[in-house]
Amino acid sequence: NSNRASIAHLQRQHYGRLYPVLLVGTDGSTTHLRYREPKRILMLPLDSTTLPEAERKARLRRHFRGKPKPRTEETFEGIDLETYKRFWKK
């Protein structure tokens, strides 16, 4: 009851009310609905099996960028040590 809520907070797992949210479908259609958490936009996941082959491959290429390029290791052969002499303690 309201007396219990005024003394201490309620031990609920869910929010006590529903919040207005914009639901965006996979085809771009939008619907206003009430959701249990305060969010602005909910997006439905896209089903990749319904996409054309070219668009599906383009999405996969964007998602998996490829192998990272190997780094070249720095060597100390090309460094002039006289330029860093002032940082050494005597």
Q: Is residue 86 part of a domain?
A: no
Given a contact cutoff of 8 angstroms between Cβ atoms, the answer to whether 22 and 38 are in contact is no
Q: Is residue 25 part of a domain?
A: yes
Q: Which domain holds residue 24?
A: 10-65
Q: Is residue 76 part of a domain?
A: no
| pLDDT for position 70 | 87
Q: Is residue 24 part of a domain?
A: yes
pTM of the model: 0.43
**Domain total of the chain:** 1
What are the pLDDT digits (tens) for 31-63? 999 988 889 999 888 888 888 999 999 988 888
Identify which of 56, 39, 38 has the alpha carbon closest to the alpha carbon of residue 47: 56
In this prediction, residues 57-78 reach a mean pLDDT of 84
Given a contact cutoff of 8 angstroms between Cβ atoms, the answer to whether 56 and 48 are in contact is yes
Give CA–CA dist 13/48, Å, rounded: 34
E-only strand ranges, the chain: 19-24, 30-35, 41-43
- Sign of torsion over alpha carbons 19, 25, 28, 31: negative
